Each structure stands twice: as C-alpha cells, then as structure tokens.
Amino acid sequence: MSDVIKKESCCGTIDQSSSTAFPRVNRLLDRFFDIKPQLCIERALAYTKSYKETEGEATVIRRAKAFKRACEEKSIFIADDELIVGCAASVPRAAVFCPEHATGWLREELDDLSTRRQDPYDVTEDQKKVLREEIFPYWEDKDISSHWLRQIPDEVKEIAVKTGIIDIEIKTQSGPGEISPNVKKVLQKGFLGIRQEACEAMNGLDIVNPADYEKKNFYEAVCISLDGVMALAGRYAKLAREKAAAEASPQRKAELLQIAENLEHVPANPARTFMEALQSFWILQICCYIEANGPSYSPGRVDQLFYPYYRRDTDQGKLTDDKALELIECLYLKFAENTWFLSTNAAMYFAGYQPYQNTCVGGINRDGKDATNELSYLFITAKMEVRLHSPSLSVRVHKQSPEKFLRKVAELSQIGTGFPAIHNDEVTIKMMLMSGAGIEDARDYCMVGCVEPYIPGKMSKWTDGGHYNYGSVMELALTNGVSVVNGNRRLGVETGDSTKMSFEELKSAVKEQLAFCIKHIATACHICEKQHAEYTPYPYMSSMIDGCIESGTDITRGGAELTVGPAFIGTGIADLADSLSVIKEFVFDKKVIKMEEIVEAVKNNFAGHEDLRAFVESNGRFYGNDDDYVDEFVREMTDYAFEQITSYQSYRGPHYISGLYPVASHVPHGEVVAALPYGRLQGTPLADGCSPKGGTDVKGPTAVLKSVSKINHDAHVAGTLLNMRLDPMSSQGEEGNARIVSLIKSFIDLNIYHVQFNIISSDILKRAQESPHNYKSLIVRVAGYSAFFTELCKEMQDDIIQRTVQEF
C-alpha cells in the first residue's frame, strides 16, 4: 500500500508513506487501515432509555442524565500499544448516532447505509432491528429535524430542502459543533473545579424567581454531565488496572499502570504532566461526541496549551522530545478514530468521514510577540510522520514568523497530504476584532472545522448555518428564477427576461436572486437555532465555554461570553464572476454574441452551441489571472453577499456572518446547476471557496494570489478558503521548499486570509482510482480539510484531478 506510493515518488509524485520511528505507532497505523467504518447505536440506545425514564423533567436535566448514562454504559476498550485511551463509540471509526437530532433520514436509508456512494457505514441486522423496534418509534416526530420541517414556511421548504440551491439541513442532523472548549481551564482546574463553580453559582439562587429556576436547572445539568465524564474516566482507569494485572510484558504492564494512574487523576483534577494533559484533553474530546454528533470539536492552539506541561517535564528530566513526539503521534491516531455521522445528502457536502478536528500551531501570543516554541515543531513533525486525514493541522504565520518555522511548514506541505492549512495572523486578528473580541483574545485565536477562526473557550459560533450556491444564482438570473436541473421549477424570484436586460440590469437580477437565497437561509436557520435551544441544550459543552456558568445559560441560548453567527457559506464565486465576465465582454462590450444564444446554451447544456462554448473557453477572461476586469465581480458580489447576510439577526442575538469555503459542497452544488455562460457544463463541480475554477487560472501561482487578494477577506469573518495545487516536480527538494516559503511570504504580504497546497501528481491520483486497494493511505486536500483519496466518491476524485497544477 504505502510501498506503491513510495516507489512512484521517483517519477515525480510525492512520497506519502509513513516514516515514524516508533514501532508502536507503526503497529497502530497498520491496524487503523484495516478498520472499516461502521455504525454504533450504543449512545442512541442509552439516550432513548433515559429519555423514556425522565418524561416531564426539565429538558436540560434530561439531556444531562442521558449523557451521564451513556458515559456509564458505553462499551470501552484499551487497544494494544495505546498510550492515550478513550473512544467516543464502541469501536474505532464508528459513527455515534444521536436520534434526538434526526431519525427520519436513517430510517429511510438504513438498508443502503453500507453501500451508498459517499461515506458508507457497515450496519448489522441486529442493529437494524434495535433501531426499528426501540429507537425510531420513540423519536418519531420528536427530533430536531421533524420540528424544523414542520415549522419552516412552505416557500422556504421549496428551495431549502433537497434542491441543492441552498442547503441548511446539516444543523438539523447534528449538534451545533464548531467549538473550541476551554481546554486550558480543564487542564488547570479539572472538572471537579469546574463542577465546584457550578455548585457555588447554584447556591446563591432563589427558585421563586423564574430566571433563577432556569439557572438552577442548568447548573444541575452541568454537575450531572461532569459526573458522567469523570465516571467514564474512572471506568477506563479500572480497565487499565485489570489489563495490567493480566499483562505478561513488564513494559506494557508499566504502561497500563501509568494509564490507570493518569485517569485516576485527570480529567477530574488539574493535569500534572504532559501525558496527563494529553489524556485529560482526550477524555474531554470524546465526550463532546457523546453529547452531540457535531463537527469541528477542536482543541485550539496545541503548542500553547500543552507547552507548560512539556516544559516542566523536560526541565525535570521526565520527558524527552522523542517521548513527547511518540505521545503526540498516539494522540493523532486517536483523533483519526472519530467520525461525524450524516445522511447521504449531507455526506456529499462533508465527504470523507471527516470530523473536522483542527489543531493549530504558531502565530503570535497575547502580547503580540511570536509564540513559536518547541512543541510547534513537534506537532508538525508528528503530522509529517503520522499521515492520517484527522486531525487537521493549521499553522498561523505573520511577517515575523521565524524562517525555520516557515521552512518546516513548507516541508510538511511538500509531502503532499494537503497539510497544513496556512492562516495569516494580520487578517485573522482583524476578523476577530470585527467579531467583538478584545485585542488580546483576538491575538489568541485558533481554528475550528475547516478554516474558521475562533476564540478558544470564549466563543459560541455556528459556522455552517447554511450553504448557498453562486452558480445557481447566475442560472436563476438568466432563466427568470427557473432551475433547469430541478425539473424546470421556478425556485428563485422572478427577475424578468434576461435577454432584454442591460448588463447593469443583469447584475441587479443576480443580486436579487442572491438576496432571495440568503433571506430564505436566514429564515430556516433561526428556526433551527430555536429548536436546538428548546430541545437539545448542551450542558457539558457549555461548562467549558466562558460566560455560560457565569450567566447560568446554555450556549444554545447565547450564554457564551462571545456569541457569533451562525455563518452562511457561499460556493462557486469564481463560476459567477467568470460568467459575468464572458457576458460583459462578448455580449455587451464586443457584441459578438447575442444574449439569446447565452440563455439557450445554458438551458440546453451547450448542445447545438459547441462553437460558442469553444469560443468563450478560449477567449474569455477568467478569475485567478490577476485581471481586474473579472476580479472586480468577485469582490462586488462577495461584498454584496456580506451586506445581505449581516442584515439579518440570528435567534441567539447577533447578526449572521459570511464565509467563503465549500467544505465539499462545490460538488453537490454543481450537480444541480445548469450549464454556465463561461463554458462549464451542467452538473459538473463548481469552484471551491474563493479559489479559481480549475483549468482557468493559467498565469501562475502569484497571479492566483493577486486575484484572491482583491476580496475583502476580513469582512467574511467565518473564513475564506484558497486551494492551490502545486506541481510536484518544481516543489521538491531545497529549491522547492524555498519556492513554497516565498509563496507563503507573498500570501502574507497580500493580506489573504488562508491558503493550502495540494502537491501530488495526476498520474498517481488516476492510478489510485484504478487500484484503490493499493492506495488506502493516500491523502489529498479536498477543500478546507484532507481525506483519504480512495474514500471519496468518483465525482470528488475527478474534481481534485482536474484542478490546475501551478508550476513555479
């Protein structure tokens, strides 16, 4: 498997074979690649039984009791060689099913779950029986999805459900996610300390006051939830001692006893060592997945969080860099065991079994000085050696970033796994200030999910409140609101006959369609937010977000110190801009094409208009080539989207926020868009994020950066995404490393928010399509995340292959 990739590296591909020096990590990696994702229903069964027993109690109390029961009853295991232990599901890479969010889709798809085209999960007949007889009947019409579908207006449902023009269903199928809890607080105080805070706050309440009564319920729920977490840790400690007693190997016996000792102390108490800190965090992490099947539970700035423990242990001679690296690599393997469970439709928007756990290193500290330390390099090295899809690794860079650090970042990029994502401190800090953070907190930002900036431990921020489709917006403006792929139904607003419009009138029609989509997302999103607040509060996660215990309020009701969003995410801005560019140049400026021809070509997928398609593809001016003629459309339309999005208020209080990253939505969004004027055919993927459309950006990587720099990145505070694919041959060796560093420096100077590099040849990707069994470990960058190439459906694979390869 890895050997095949390694042998081909001499032919211009990148060596992705694992190169860790630790035998235990190699054994764990070998076992990982033998695991097939499957469904776990233990959590669903525990919640169902608990909910049946707590009918009539306060919702937040019911949630806490169900969570505690799941912690007490779930299957646990400690695998051979593990040093960091714990799993959210009953087995690694199993999906944790949360029926209180959505059961309808699984009921409909259960028999096809193991064979669907994207992210299939094995499911047994016994599991199907339990689901159909015990779980589905109880939750029918009680889950978030059912409440949401009953409450959204018909006109919203018409465009928002299963059309692909806008998509909001994801937050009805899972917990809100996009959280970086206050890990530092847990490491310093332990859950006993946080529990004591909740108890002390509860003591001063008078339940004759209705507001105090609600707070009392919240504090009780926090205490019950934290008792569940500590009970789970205790179960793992007991299991470790039992395994140690039966272990013949003295080395493994000592390791198991150390694991037991760690878990008897953390996460209940403050961490004392580097290993305890990692283990404490990991119990915290898996319990997020037990409480809610959500995305993007992220630890934050790992090099800053764990540095005091690393420094103390190394100064005292208790820890070497080799041992620290081995522990980090073991932690990375645990990250890769988590997954996020979604319907067939949603899996296409978030393809690749990706839970979007984001670790972050580098950047400046709260005082504005460079924060790079020894752990920054160790976390990067671990990512170079343990080449898995999760966790994501983001790096923060700035004009004073050490040259050594930038070269290390480039070295990781050269491997070709798509890691790391690179973020510009100057731009991101402005985003955080615009989000309401103070300057010190803004400097301390981390990443969650794909590319979303976040203030760790202080912020509650949905970053996937809804996806909208710039390609559809263009189509609807041309067709007077009619969606060709959706059965020629009028799903947009009637903006008039595009063949009789001036160019400015056409742009106004595009904006009207865009505003129409955003308005409907806002309606559907605030109703969804309300359902979570009423039916699925999250007392465990709330206990780790500053402001919630202080106010006695759950994150779903705005209890966080800083509540931001949700975010509305736009896909395919390059497709819209390229279409407007072709229309302006050839219909209105040069008058060599009639508008009627454009509209007919769009409706007929260029059938009978092949010469027109060839002409615009050969002569058009496209985004990504540092051409203001087309780049200005990108800026204008994204600015307009920002204005529309931020004009609406969310259920929790703040205005909605804007983002430009696709996750994987550019593929399913493209499937429902007719042909577009610049030559794109019906059903093919859109451009991802604020990246150019593959094959149109032909003037080199610097021109791409210059085009992308014209977007007002700091306005889109949910994040923007730039994918670049670099030529493997010119990216190799010391010269290639220097070229990548130079590109990163240009990215910083141009005030772009984010960039990431795919460095892998098309030949090896095509071979992986033909012989997937030989390429199980091959990782590629999809959008704001990486995935195993052979675990992506062919449509996703083809999209990655067709992206422009930029040569230096």
| 802 in the same domain as 682 | no
Cβ atoms of residues 598 and 677 within 8 Å = yes
263's CB contacts (< 8 A; 6+ apart) are 85, 233, 234, 236, 237, 240, 279, 283
| 523 in the same domain as 446 | no
Residue 411 lies in a domain: yes
| 797 in the same domain as 672 | no
The Cα–Cα gap between 350 and 170 comes to 10
Written as one letter, the residue type at 266 is V
At which of 721, 737, 768 does a domain end? 721
213's CB contacts (< 8 A; 6+ apart) are 205, 207
| 523 in the same domain as 571 | yes
Residue 169 lies in a domain: no
For residue 723, give the 3-state DSSP assignment: strand
| 751 in the same domain as 714 | no
Residue 87 lies in a domain: no
Exposed, middle or buried: residue 510 (CB in 10 Å: 0-12, 13-18, 19+)?
buried
Q: Is 329 a catalytic residue?
A: no
Q: What tokens were used for 230? A: 């500590």
735's CB contacts (< 8 A; 6+ apart) are none
Determine the pLDDT at residue 755: 98
Q: Is 452 a catalytic residue?
A: yes
The Cα–Cα gap between 216 and 194 comes to 16
Cβ atoms of residues 701 and 695 within 8 Å = no
The Cα–Cα gap between 513 and 26 comes to 53
Q: Is the backbone of residue 487 left (phi > 0), alpha (psi -120 to 50) or beta?
A: left
For the chain, the domain total comes to: 2
Residue 408 lies in a domain: yes
- pLDDT tens-place string over residues 116-140: 999 999 999 999 999 999 999 999 9
The Cα–Cα gap between 225 and 362 comes to 33
| 683 in the same domain as 538 | yes
At which of 721, 740, 769 does a domain end? 721
Q: What tokens were used for 294? A: 């959500």
| 596 in the same domain as 471 | yes
- pLDDT tens-place string over residues 529-584: 999 999 999 999 999 999 999 999 999 999 999 999 999 999 999 999 999 999 99
Instruction: Give the H or E element holding residue 422.
Output: strand 421-424
| 693 in the same domain as 760 | no
φ/ψ of residue 657, rounded to 5: -125, 165
Q: Enter the DSSP assignment of 604.
A: T
| 410 in the same domain as 361 | yes
| 739 in the same domain as 711 | no
| 710 in the same domain as 760 | no
| 477 in the same domain as 349 | no
Residue 69 lies in a domain: no
Tokens 């059938």 label which residue? 607
560's CB contacts (< 8 A; 6+ apart) are 458, 459, 460, 545, 546, 547, 548
Q: Looking at 337, 452, 585, 795, which residue is catalytic?
A: 452
Q: What tokens were used for 345? A: 């439709």
Exposed, middle or buried: residue 529 (CB in 10 Å: 0-12, 13-18, 19+)?
buried
Q: Which domain holds residue 802?
A: 1-34+315-460+728-808
Nearest CA to 184 out of 376, 457, 571 is that of 457
The Cα–Cα gap between 460 and 547 comes to 10
Written as one letter, the residue type at 448 is V
Question: Which residue positions in the chain have pLDDT lower than 50?
Answer: 1-14
Residue 72 lies in a domain: no
Q: Looking at 40, 450, 517, 548, which residue is catalytic?
A: 450
Residue 263 lies in a domain: no
**Exposure string (b/e) for 259-292, b if CB count within 10 Å is 16 or more?**
bbebbbbbbbbbbbbbbbbbbbbbbbbbbbbbbb
At which of 680, 706, 721 does a domain end? 721
Instruction: Give the H or E element holding residue 104.
Output: helix 104-109
Q: Is the backbone of residue 228 left (phi > 0), alpha (psi -120 to 50) or beta?
A: alpha
Residue 348 lies in a domain: yes
